[in-house]
Structure 1
């Protein structure tokens, strides 16, 4: 419960529209086309037949919330009203955009009011600010399609088309194009945020990337500071840094000219511990040599998926834009480098060149692609890597992927590309502090039988603990590790039983930017209205 729980709040959504230019409190812009009436403010309680549908909006069914009410918002004014009423009643607020928060931060039993952005999903060009506007409820699939067909542009976001903009953008937003264009958060030039000040005034504030803006720090905090920390974002404005054109087709990265993927596939039955060690070393060494910002290799995005042995296959894929000169050669050289010295010969499969959009927005659900057909339950633990995993770490991974006392085809060890343009910015340029990593590693499990929760969690946690045993069971900062990615939230990091590093969860997520983020928190949420298990205090 926040310190405002017993106060009567003063109404106030802001002053003049001039705030859009100056960064002071602003009247929210229209959220929908003229003449279109947005829904709501709709209140759905447990007595409403729609309530069960709102409960199931969360992807990870290990967590299903039971809030007192879900508020379906259609405008910034609705959000102001919902926040004001929740705080008046001393009710903990949760905010949902796409529902892909992975570790129950919104579905926490302490959350009594969920503000749901499923009906705020507009995507448009704003000629006044010369930037694209995106509402938090828009999913990545919707964003890719609208930007592509409307202007031939895109954003460097993630591969899951059902993920919502609200959480993805403020946590950084990494995807296959990030090595070429940076994180999605690196394109955010302004945000509209509903905040609650020390006097209890609830208002919509527009914060911009202009250092002269009095709300500049609020903008900065939303470029990697994670969701649910400072207020409720109701709109993003995006534009590529340094672009001076007023032509919207030039303001975001051009959509790729095609989609070309090459895959190297090994049979687990052919894979020895020595061969697996060499394969992972090859994958890591390629990234050590090809992840500098602006390098030719940064145009290729790769992922390695090593599932449990009973799955049967180990898959490494590389993705490039075939319309760019030399990219086909880059893909071929990457695939060739993987197998050097491994022993078993992989099956190499290259897809025919396809248009970019349809494969991108048709990516299958992760659980379904792993053979999980029921409501998915999952656990993700990840770390940012400045160097490849050591041979000792890969031997630990091999042990957990092949050990005889556990079997599950949808438990996997993954390594994916990072670096490139992401690392062109200084660590303090945005709230995303991790600007020296070259790869993201993870241990991921998904299943659909509730009775199996503990068995899969035990395997997942033991794997991760052993993988990072030398740094306290987590990727604590070192010459090889840079910490954790906030868009893969892991509540285990606040538990000393799982984090023996002496480095707090917030330090793992935010590094040296944490003190500044705490100052922003104190200024814009002084009464702690917005909080969750991993929130900034």
Structure 2
């Protein structure tokens, strides 16, 4: 999953502590490639390989194929197509909806054996295989070359889903979305004759496969093929030094984690906090804003958690970083009467990669393999209204429901450099938002399904009651994030807005995505409940 922290656990632990197959690269050719592994239901590994991060969704495929090369992916896809079997693919396993694991899927192709991160001198770009997870990507890129991609916080998220949906993180306001640095992709597709092959598509407009690259820059996973390799290089970057070809993260960052006790927040003060937070990001959403060096999240967990948290990261190497952070926290907490609380929790100055790891370690749910969950999202151009903030307060203080991991997370991962890119240049259409929000709850016991799912639905419907239960693109809202898929979005019982799911996710880019679908997956081999439909 690609979104910010969730679960209301965000602050506590931080405070404590031409169609062508790609030739093998020389580095890869030097090492033997492991053969594919096929896991059937009788195998003890089958149970582990047929459930994802969200324990609500469990698959029952005929088999799981664990692959270690592009050629093995081509073979796996071809065998499934020839047998008429329904395919799904696993990169990191963080799909929150039942797109990968459901009763219709007969073959799961697991990319966990495809996880190499390297520098490809021929393409003068960094090659990241489709099964790599963010923790490994960050570690390798930074330790070997001093670069990174501006991705999310969760270490176990797979690059495959994260990048194809856009990809955001603490560096995005400063450096753009992950896909803003995507130079090319290798995708296994199936043509009209039923033949599987690997295609390389690049951002070069003259590339005959440029449209396939475009669709992979925010169109979401599971619609066009299986991405086996990404190449990253920042647009305009050139030269022989790999350390100058991608984002150079700050040497140090200021990391601030401020916990505000629920006991200090009545309805009026909570509303003030929410509207203050949104107003700051609204006022600093421009691409050239000096405040783009700061990004933060507000984890508004259920009152039973004891606190709400403000987690903020600032480029400590930038002039005025300390002042900016102080002004930011002052603006967010103005009128709350919690100045002493904020002052008692000073920021830490940390090397960038250490801060990345501290944030990940401070959110246990990121690596907890036992959780069930439900989530919804919203992009915002303007701050929440007092009425919407009041709806959040009512849900988060409900006495008949007490889950500390139920939360509304305001995420300042939009605006700034993300908004410098026109909405049609990539498939990621949300290029003028100020921030986005994750509404989520997690729990362990299946007996808690109804209460948690019901709580989230009621919260979301109440916040968006004026627009039919969903954040319809307009003056205030700007739709939903495809990387936080919501099974309810296609159901008119919940989405009463009259705006279809694909408009909420993709806005005006959807028709072009459909044309790419027709060109590269005319047989609809790669599909799920919310994949791009054939025109």
Residue 50 and residue 30 in structure 1: after superposition, are their counterparts in 2 closer, same or farther (change >3 A)?
A: farther
Whether the aligned pair in 1 keeps the contact of 2:256 and 2:348 (CA below 8 Å) is: no
2:124 corresponds to which residue? 130
* Matched residue, 1:323: 317
Contact 1:30–1:75 (CA under 8 A) maintained in structure 2: no
The reply on whether 1:144 has 2:145 as its aligned counterpart is no
Which residue is equivalent to 2:292? 298
Displacement after TM superposition at 1:28 (Å) = 4.2
Instruction: Please report how far the alpha carbon of residue 262 of structure 1 lies from its aligned counterpart in structure 2 after TM superposition.
Output: 1.8
Q: Do 1:31 and 1:75's aligned partners in 2 also have CA atoms closer than 8 Å?
A: no
Work out whether residues 276 and 398 of structure 1, in 8 Å CA contact, stay in contact via their aligned partners in 2: yes
SS in 1 for 2:359: coil
Aligned CA distance change for structure 1 residues 245 and 373 (closer, same or farther; 3 Å): closer
1:390 to 385, 389, 399: 385
CA distance in 1, matches of 2:48, 2:361: 19
> What CA distance in whole angstroms lies between the structure 2 residues aligned with 1:380 and 1:456?
10
Corresponding residue to 1:49 among 26, 31, 44: 44
How far the C-alpha of 1:91 sits from its partner, in A, is 0.9
* CA distance in 2 between partners of 1:118 and 1:373 (Å): 18
Say whether the 8 Å CA contact 2:407–2:440 is kept in structure 1: yes
d(CA) in 2 for partners of 1:104, 1:362: 30
Q: Work out whether residues 484 and 509 of structure 1, in 8 Å CA contact, stay in contact via their aligned partners in 2.
A: yes
Q: Deviations over 1:79-126 (max 9, x none)?
A: 000000111111111110111111121012111111101110011111
- Asked if the contact 1:196–1:529 (Cα under 8 Å) also holds between the matched residues in 2, the reply is yes
Given the superposition, is the C-alpha separation of residues 39 and 366 from structure 1 closer, same or farther in structure 2, using an over 3 Å criterion? farther
Matched, 1:488 2:484: yes
Partner of 2:67: 73
The Cα of 1:366 is off from its aligned counterpart by 8.1
Larger deviation, residues 256-265 vs 212-221: 256-265
In the TM superposition, residue 71 of structure 1 has moved relative to its aligned partner by 0.5
Q: Secondary structure at the match of 1:132?
A: strand
Match of 2:222 among 221, 224, 228: 228
Give the paired residue count.
513
2:490 paired with 1:499: no
Asked whether the 8 Å contact 2:19–2:198 carries over to 1, the reply is no
Deviation at 1:261, TM superposition (A): 1.4
1:533 aligns with 2:526: no
- The CA distance in 2 between the partners of 1:504 and 1:41, in whole Å, is 40
CA 1:467 to 1:196, structure 2 compared with 1: closer, same or farther past 3 Å? same
- TM (norm. structure 2) is 0.93
Distance 1:30 1:51, change over 3 A: farther
Structure 1 residue 491: deviation in Å? 1.2
- Give 1:202 shift: 1.0
Aligned with residue 524 of structure 1, among 520, 526, 533: 520
Q: How much has 1:453 moved relative to structure 2?
A: 0.6
Structure 2 unaligned segments of length 5 or more: list them.
1-17
SS in structure 2 opposite 1:134?
A: strand
Which segment drifts farther, 319-328 or 137-146? 319-328
Does residue 99 of the first structure (1) align with residue 97 of the second (2)? Answer: no
Question: Secondary structure of the equivalent of 1:394?
Answer: helix
- Counterpart of 2:402 in structure 1 is 407
TM-score (norm 1): 0.93
1:506 Cα deviation from its structure 2 partner: 1.0
Aligned to 2:8: none
Q: Distance in 2 between matches of 1:89 and 1:96?
A: 20
More displaced 10-residue stretch of structure 1: 229-238 or 30-39: 30-39
Query: CA offset at residue 211 of structure 1?
Result: 1.1
Determine helix, strand or coil for the equivalent of 1:206. strand
Number of the residue aligned with 1:37 = 32
Alpha-carbon distance in structure 1 between the residues aligned to 2:68 and 2:259: 46
Paired position in structure 2 for 1:467: 463
Offset, 1:282: 1.1
- Tell me which residue corresponds to 1:449: 445
Aligned-partner Cα distance in 1 for 2:108–2:360:
28
After superposition, the CA RMSD in angstroms is 1.6
The CA distance in 2 between the partners of 1:86 and 1:43, in whole Å, is: 13
Shift of 1:405: 2.1
Aligned position for 1:116: 110
Shift of 1:293: 0.6
**Residue 278 (structure 1) aligned with residue 272 (structure 2):** yes
Q: Residue 377 of structure 1 corresponds to which residue in structure 2?
A: 372
**Mapped partners of 2:457, 2:35: distance in 1:** 42
- Kindly provide the CA deviation profile for residues 333-359 of structure 1, in whole angstroms up to 9, marking residues without a partner as x: 111112212234462212331222133
Cα-to-partner distance string for 1:25-57 (whole Å, 9 max, x where unaligned): 33443496333222222111111222122124x
Contact 1:67 1:109 (8 Å CA) reproduced: yes
Alignment partner of 2:235 out of 238, 241, 246 = 241
**2:260/2:341 contact within 8 Å kept:** yes
- State the shift of 1:459 in Å: 0.0
SS of structure 2 residue aligned to 1:347: helix
Residue segments in structure 1 that go unaligned for 5+ positions in a row: 1-22
SS in 2 for 1:148: helix
Cα distance in 2 for residues equivalent to 1:55 and 1:32: 32
Aligned to 1:155: 149
Tell me how far 1:367 sits from its aligned partner.
Answer: 6.8
Report the alpha carbon displacement of residue 434 of structure 1 after superposing the two structures with TM: 0.6
Q: 1:124 to 1:184 in 2, by over 3 A?
A: same
Inter-partner Cα distance in structure 2 for 1:500 and 1:121: 42
Q: Which residue of 2 aligns with 1:313?
A: 307
Secondary structure of the 1:236 match is strand
Distance 1:516 1:369 in 2: 37
Q: Is the 8 A contact 1:208 1:215 kept in 2?
A: yes
Residue in 2 that maps onto 1:178: 172
Instruction: Give 3-state SS (helix, strand or coil) of 1:194's partner.
Output: strand
